[in-house]
Amino acid sequence: MGVNQELKIIHRSYGIADRYDNGTIEINKNLEKYPELKSAIIRHEIKHTNNPRFNKKDFLHDLEAPEQLKLFTLIKFIFKHPLSLVQFLPAYYTRKKGLVLDLNLIVIYSVVLSVLSTGIVLGFVL
């Protein structure tokens, strides 16, 4: 974030967190009960670029996320707040923003699906 840019955090009832190209971070309101996890997630979101398009830096940053976050605490949070699973959908709809596409997840899921499909096909052929 720029030196003069103020951090704006908006609470929501679904997902975990997202950062938008204007620097705004939307974060699940239930993370207030998990201050350590909330801080780690906000630090993670701040490190994203303001680029609204898919880019390598943000993609690689998301792949490093499990190392930055306390994974066990995050898993507990997800089980206690099932609407946070929306974060792992490559596309979802909200009244405010309409259709939201997460290109990072689309790429990751496509690669995983391609690898699995190739493995299954090779398993039948060989």
**CB-hemisphere CA count at 13 Å for 31?**
24
Q: Where are the alpha helices (DSSP H) in the chain?
A: 35-46, 56-63, 65-68, 71-80, 103-125
Q: Whole-prediction pTM value?
A: 0.73
Higher per-residue pLDDT: 63 or 23: 23
In this structure, are strands 91-94 and 25-28 parallel, antiparallel, or unpaired? unpaired
Q: What is the mean pLDDT of the chain?
A: 84
Give the pLDDT of residue 34. 93
Q: How far is CA 95 from the centre of its chain?
A: 19
- Convert the pLDDT of each residue in 59-116 to its tens digit: 777 777 665 567 888 889 999 999 999 988 999 887 777 888 888 889 889 999 999 9
